[in-house]
């Protein structure tokens, strides 16, 4: 089967690496791809915002499955255009992608289907939002309703912070995404991310992970897209995973089908494991980046067959095996990230780092100039390792990091610290 993979980050490199191992794979194309993906796929310049052009490409190159990595093309309706043209696609319709595209949409789905989540209210103007804040007090969480590249959330410890966050939203700090604001109760517990591949009616559990969003060690400093991750998430015991499926994910799929927007693709549930049980913080409609990188290291099954089964509504008939080992990824970012990253610095030692046992280096934001590898983004490399425990995986990942010669980059040295501390206690 010929496959078109849409995206250009470390997530897509990990997907391409795993797809390339499939005996079912014919030719793999990536739009636009990156220098790491180019080892497994033919990278093509295709304007993915031009749905007609994507459909034409798929017809011409006999694409049997389109896999969409990032959320933006999904929210823009690329899956609808492909489905209307009779082309199989792994990824939700624009309507179903509102699970990520609108916080209020997801909250309403939770309310209609008794799905456990933080208590909430939605506002379209600052005075009403502030009056509500005065009533409920702090701590409290303020969210821009729409897609704000992970930056639209403030966990406010004081009312002043909460007021400032509301003002930012309505003054346009997040553009249209901030035209409405969701205010919700602060949940207390340990966070975990759970992944499910879905075919509209069936959800197949697809691994768990924990990420580190803050740029600085000890989880301090501004939030990023993610500075590292590990899998599995220790809080997700088999019992807790079963509860998440039963209490959160299955009712969500039923609710989406009932509203005529069945969900196909990856459902990424961001959860808080509270004393009362699992509660939904948010959904994303795609794999996490860098969570996908650790999931792909642990998946012991044919990714292409699984994603094709999801796209074709056949998940009832399949299962996925996972390695017992843990996986951990360290994100190497260009200096300046998450502000403006310095571009164009040279990266050396990649091959040596990639030869450390159990290690895969995924490219996130790189470019080739002749045979020189250069930084071309904020998050640049994902140094990823498999090991008998999170601690072993971490040691392998950092020994590979130490072989990379890149003065223009940095990484956190403490990825996985909670799990490592847990393992040290036994
Ligand atoms: P989100 O973009 O919705 O994933 O939120 C970003 C981060 O904010 C989450 O990963 C949590 O750490 C935190 N967060 C969001 N909502 C809540 C909440 N209701 N209670 C506590 N923390 C939250
Ligand atoms: N790493 C978080 C995300 O992909 O949303």
Ranges of each domain in the chain: 2-91, 125-179, 188-317, 326-425
Q: State pLDDT tens for residues 280-313.
A: 999 999 999 999 999 999 999 999 999 999 999 9
Taking every pair of Cα atoms in the chain, the longest distance, rounded to a whole number of angstroms, is 61
Q: Are 373 and 347 in contact (CB under 8 A)?
A: yes
Q: Lowest mean pLDDT: which of 19-33, 177-191, 254-268?
A: 177-191
pLDDT digits (tens, 9 = 90+) for 5-58: 999 999 999 999 999 999 999 999 999 999 999 999 999 999 999 999 999 999
Domain 2-91 and domain 125-179 have a common topology:
no
Nearest CA to ligand 1 atom 6: 153
CATH number corresponding to 2-91: 3.40.50.20
Q: Which of 288, 285, 319, 316 is nearest to 302 (CA)?
A: 319
What mean pLDDT is predicted for residues 226-245? 96
Cβ of 180 closer than 6 Å to ligand 1, yes or no, is: no
If you search the block for the tokens 């990714």, which residue do you land on? 303
* Domain 125-179, CATH number (from 3.30.1490.20, 2.40.160.10, 3.40.50.300, 3.10.20.30): 3.30.1490.20
What pLDDT does 252 receive? 98
191 lines ligand 1 (CB under 6 A): yes
What proportion of the chain, given as a percentage, has pLDDT over 70?
Answer: 99
The number of beta carbons lying within 10 Å of the beta carbon of residue 32 is: 15
C-alpha of residue 293 to centroid of ligand 1, in Å: 22
Q: Output the pLDDT for position 315.
A: 97
Is residue 149 over pLDDT 80? no
Round to whole Å and give the CA distance between 101 and 329.
Answer: 27
User: Does 291 sit in the ligand 2 pocket, CB within 6 Å?
Assistant: yes
Q: Is the pLDDT of residue 217 over 90?
A: yes
Q: Which of 68-77, 218-227, 278-287 has the lowest mean pLDDT?
A: 218-227
**Structure tokens that stand for 309 in this block:** 């089964």
Q: Quick one: which ligand is closest to 284's CA?
A: 2
Rg for the chain, CA atoms, rounded = 21
Is the domain spanning 326-425 CATH 3.20.20.80? The answer is: no
**What pLDDT is stored for residue 150 in this prediction?**
60
Fold type of domain 188-317: D-amino Acid Aminotransferase; Chain A, domain 1 (3.30.470)
pLDDT mean over 337-360? 96
pLDDT at res. 33: 98
Q: Whose CA is nearest to atom 18 of ligand 1?
A: 186
Residue 390 has pLDDT above 90, yes or no: yes
What average pLDDT does the segment 249-277 reach?
Answer: 97
Average pLDDT, the chain: 95
Confidence of residue 426 (pLDDT cuts 50, 70, 90): confident
Closest C-alpha to ligand 1, atom 16:
281
For 311-314, the CB contacts below 8 A with 24+ separation are 311/65, 311/88, 311/89, 311/90, 311/199, 311/264, 312/88, 312/199, 313/199, 313/200, 313/201, 313/264, 314/199
Predicted local distance difference test score (pLDDT) of residue 422? 93
Q: How many A from CA of 227 to the centre of ligand 1? A: 16
- pLDDT band at residue 256 using 50, 70 and 90 as cut-offs: very high
Q: What pLDDT band is residue 145 in, cutting at 50, 70 and 90?
A: confident
* pLDDT value of position 207: 97
């Amino acid at each position: 089967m010929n496959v078109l993979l849409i995206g250009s980050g470390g997530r897509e490199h990990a997907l391409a690496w795993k797809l390339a191992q499939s005996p079912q794979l014919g030719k793999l194309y990536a739009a636009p791809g990156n220098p790491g993906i180019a080892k497994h796929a033919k990278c093509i310049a295709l304007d993915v915002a031009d749905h007609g052009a994507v459909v034409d490409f798929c017809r011409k190159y006999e694409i049997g499955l389109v896999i969409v990595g990032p959320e933006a093309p999904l929210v823009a309706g690329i899956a609808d255009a492909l489905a209307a043209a009779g082309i199989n696609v792994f990824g939700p319709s624009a309507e179903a992608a509102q699970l990520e595209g609108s916080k209020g949409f997801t909250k309403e789905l939770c309310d209609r289907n008794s799905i456990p989540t933080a208590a909430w209210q939605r506002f379209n103007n600052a005075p009403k939002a502030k009056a509500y804040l005065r009533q409920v007090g702090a701590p409290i969480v303020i969210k821009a309703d729409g897609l704000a590249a992970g930056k639209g959330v403030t966990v406010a410890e004081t009312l002043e912070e909460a007021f400032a966050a509301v003002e930012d939203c309505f003054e346009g700090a997040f553009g249209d995404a901030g035209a409405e604001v969701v205010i919700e109760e602060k949940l207390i517990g340990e966070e975990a991310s759970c992944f499910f591949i879905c075919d509209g009616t069936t959800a197949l559990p697809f691994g768990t992970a924990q990420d580190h969003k803050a740029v600085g060690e000890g989880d301090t400093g501004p939030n990023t897209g993610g500075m590292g991750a590990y899998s599995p998430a220790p809080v997700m015991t088999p019992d807790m995973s079963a509860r998440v499926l039963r209490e959160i994910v299955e009712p969500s799929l039923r609710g989406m089908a009932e509203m005529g927007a069945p969900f196909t693709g990856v459902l990424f549930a961001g959860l808080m494991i509270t004393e009362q049980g699992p509660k939904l913080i948010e959904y994303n409609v795609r794999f996490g980046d860098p969570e996908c990188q650790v999931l792909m290291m642990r998946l012991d099954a044919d990714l292409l067959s699984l994603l094709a089964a999801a796209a074709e509504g056949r998940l009832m008939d399949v299962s996925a095996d996972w390695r017992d080992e843990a996986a951990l990824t360290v994100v190497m970012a260009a200096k300046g990230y998450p502000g403006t990253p310095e571009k164009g610095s040279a990266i050396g030692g990649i091959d040596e780092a990639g030869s450390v046992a159990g290690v895969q280096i995924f490219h996130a934001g790189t470019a080739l100039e002749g045979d020189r590898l250069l930084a071309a983004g904020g998050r640049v490399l994902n140094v990823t390792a498999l090991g008998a425990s999170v601690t072993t995986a971490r040691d392998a990942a950092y020994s590979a990091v130490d072989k990379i010669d890149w003065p223009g980059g940095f990484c956190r040295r403490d990825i996985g610290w909670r799990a490592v501390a847990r393992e040290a206690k036994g």
